[in-house]
Amino acid sequence: MKKNQKLNFISNTLEDVQQLLSAPKPLRSRLLDFVKFLAHEFNARSSGIYLLNDDYFLESYVYYDRDEGAQPQSKFRVGEGVLGYILSTGKPAMIDNLTTHPNFVYRPGATDYIYLALVGYPIVTSKGRVGVLTALTNLSKPNHILLKLRMVLYS
């Protein structure tokens, strides 16, 4: 992708995201539209937003899976599992094979994630780190899909 193409891609994508998030709908509905957009725009299998609940567990707030549509039920403490690790470090992560990551924690349904790559970004507000944005894709898909997502989220 040439520099001008990258800038146009980022500009158009950010405009689309801005429109989705400013729609006159309840917040959860707008965020669900956003994760659906991410999954389709970047050809990811799924995308989701995990937020800290009142008990300081990360749990799925909105989630979209192009293949199954099932909502994950797992909860993670800060520092536990890959998502808890991303939240605890406050740093984005691009993991080529989720189940081989040293912080991967098996939970029921985890077999659905074998051979998937994950991109995770901590969600930081004025209150600190409050969640993680995720995108999962098949390892057979080119890594440039994950890199495009990273480009948009860092711009």
What CA–CA distance (Å, rounded) separates 65 from 2? 31
Q: How many CB atoms lie within 10 A of CB 84?
A: 21
Identify the band that residue 143 occupies on the pLDDT scale cut at 50, 70 and 90: low
Domain spans of the chain, in order of start: 3-154
Q: Where are the beta strands (DSSP E) in 15-143?
A: 46-52, 57-65, 76-77, 93-95, 116-125, 128-138
Per-residue confidence (pLDDT) for residue 142, from 0 to 100: 45
Identify the band that residue 120 occupies on the pLDDT scale cut at 50, 70 and 90: confident
How many angstroms separate the Cα of 2 from the Cα of each of 8, 75, 145? 10, 41, 15
- 153 neighbors 14 (Cβ within 8 angstroms): no
Answer yes or no: is pLDDT of 148 > 70: no
- The pLDDT of 19-39, averaged and rounded, is 81
Q: Is the CATH number of domain 3-154 1.10.1660.10?
A: no
Answer yes or no: is pLDDT of 137 > 90: no
What is the pTM (predicted TM-score) of this model? Answer: 0.79
H or E element, residue 85: helix 81-89
Answer yes or no: is pLDDT of 45 > 80: yes
- The pLDDT of 62-81, averaged and rounded, is 79
Per-residue confidence (pLDDT) for residue 88, from 0 to 100: 94
